[in-house]
Amino acid sequence: MTIRLYDTSARQVRDFAPLTPGCVSIYLCGATVQAAPHIGHIRSGLNFDIMRRWFAHRGYRVTFVRNVTDIDDKIIQKSAEQGRPWWSIGYENERAFNDGYAALGCLPPTYEPRATGHVTEMVEMMQGLIERGHAYESGGNVYFDVRSFPEYLALSNQDLDELRQPDEGASGKRDPRDFAMWKAAKPGEPDWETPWGRGRPGWHLECSAMAHKYLGSAFDIHGGGIDLIFPHHENEIAQAKAYGDEFARYWVHNSWVTMSGEKMSKSLGNSVLVSEMVKQWRPIVLRYYLGTPHYRSTIEYSPEALREAESAFARIEGFVQRVVEKAGGPVEPAVEVPPAFAEAMDDDLGVPQALAIVHTTVRQGNSALAADDKEAAVARLAEVRAMLGVLGLDPLDPHWSGENDRGEDLHGVVDTLVRLVLQQRESARARKDWATADAIRDQLNQSGLVIEDGAQGPRWTLGPR
């Protein structure tokens, strides 16, 4: 089947046809590094990580670019408030984002350019836009003339005459709806030399310039959160297409993580930092929670929802562990995923439907285990591992093999301690001291461990919270 994606610009699901056969190019608007990431920030990275993995599974060669906005008004404001260099704040938070992406199993991008490393490309683009009559200089600022580009606002389907652009605190515009590509230098702010004087980039110009540099004048997919459709993506399109680029052929947007119906945001005081979440929840469970709803659906954050995700993943993980024990060693993933899983993923990355196939296969595998059908159980595990690999959730993947609640490699230590306690329980059972054996089991259960007695002896797993 052909992969199909919901294209925001077309307002419908479209068959994906790559510019270059067998290849797919993706540009994702990445972090603005004025603060550490909350789980709403990381959701976008997870959704497009799954997209990338699915394209790769389907045999595409993927070029994935995710930028870093390391200079903007908020970073400069934080610098003034904290009395720290702007680049220090940006770099610290860039590392926090990368730590968050890595903790949740996102593959590193092919390229991860920073805005401040591409001022030359931005100047070249501005010069071209001025020459073509789409931009102008005023007082050291460079603005884009929105009325010079008839397609402006086509992505968000707005009417220019009703548009109210955000106040950028700048003067000298020909039209109040024109947006700044370059901002004239102010005392105490970082700046770079240009033909129009010293200044710094506006928010939107960087992505048009970097997409052109790394992916060329045309590429396949541009991604980001729905909050970026306007003004950021509209302005990117205007700059790039007025410059002469075809730019992105598909626009794919993920929805928000909300809390009490509000978009998760630091300014609203309702954000949940990734660094704190991975101390409370296993990162693989957090990935399951954020990555398995459909990318275009809103996730309402709650601890209860996370506990449900933890229990659901525990059922998958328990099956994987039981079959590995039954098989006496690792079981390699199948080369192909089940057809129903592939059909769901091909249909606009239908992860919820694909995940239902995972759980169905797990149930089939558990039935095979109950029937002592080792061959069937191993076959189901191979299918499950192939599907989980696409979702980045295979517990046997080396990325997760030493994971625990704090993301440290302590699983082996815990396993040794628990097995010592279980040996004491087995000794009590051998001498028919049932009271002691039951007391040990109950104490382990109260500690959050589930003990299962099997033909090969007891095994433990983490229980639901």
Instruction: List the domains of the chain with CATH numbers.
Output: 4-254 (3.40.50.620), 274-391 (no CATH), 411-462 (no CATH)
Mean pLDDT of 168-172: 67
CA distances from 307 to 130, 288, 408 (A): 55, 11, 21
Q: Residue written as tokens 């541009």?
A: 222
Return the percentage of the chain with pLDDT > 70, whole number. 92
pLDDT, residue 460, reads 75
Read off the pTM. Answer: 0.86
Question: What is the per-residue pLDDT for 216?
Answer: 98
- pLDDT 10s digits, 384-399: 999 999 999 999 999 9
Structure tokens at 218: 């045309």
Encode pLDDT of 344-355 as tens digits: 999 999 999 999
Q: Whole-angstrom Cα distance, residue 27 to residue 187?
A: 34
Q: By C-alpha distance, which of 153, 118, 149, 123 is closest to 241? A: 149
In the numeric block, the tokens 């562990």 are attached to 321
- Cα-based distances in Å from 418 to 93, 431, 451: 38, 20, 10
50 pLDDT more than 80 = yes
Taking each helix axis from N to C terminus, what angle separates 374-391 and 39-57, rounded to the nearest 10 degrees? Answer: 120
- Please state which of the ranges 97-101, 364-368, 414-418 shows the lowest mean pLDDT: 414-418
271 contact partners, CB below 8 Å, separation of at least 6: 38, 39, 40, 264, 265
Mean pLDDT of 347-376: 98
pLDDT at 164 over 90: no
Helices (H), 158-302: 205-215, 234-243, 274-280, 283-291
Residue 405, pLDDT score:
41
The pLDDT tens digits for 192-225 are 999 999 999 988 999 999 999 999 999 999 999 9
pLDDT in tens, 273-323: 999 999 999 999 999 999 999 999 999 999 999 999 999 999 999 999 999
Confidence of residue 404 (pLDDT cuts 50, 70, 90): very low
Rounded Cα distance, 159 and 220, in Å: 27
Task: Select from 449, 192, 161 the least CA-distant residue to 459.
Answer: 449
What's the mean pLDDT in 127-146? 97
- Give the C-alpha distances (Å, rounded to integers) separating 89 from 72, 79, 95, 100, 109: 12, 7, 10, 17, 22
Whether 254 and 283 have beta carbons less than 8 Å apart is answered as no
**What confidence tier does 409 reach under pLDDT thresholds 50, 70, 90?**
very low
Q: Is the dihedral of CA 143, 148, 150, 151 positive or negative?
A: negative
pLDDT at residue 138 above 70? yes
In one-letter notation, the amino acid at residue 268 is L
Reported as a pLDDT band with limits 50, 70 and 90, residue 90 is very high
Q: How many CB atoms lie within 10 A of CB 165?
A: 16
Question: Contact at 8 Å (CB) between 309 and 288?
Answer: yes
Q: Give me the helices (H) in 216-273, please.
A: 234-243
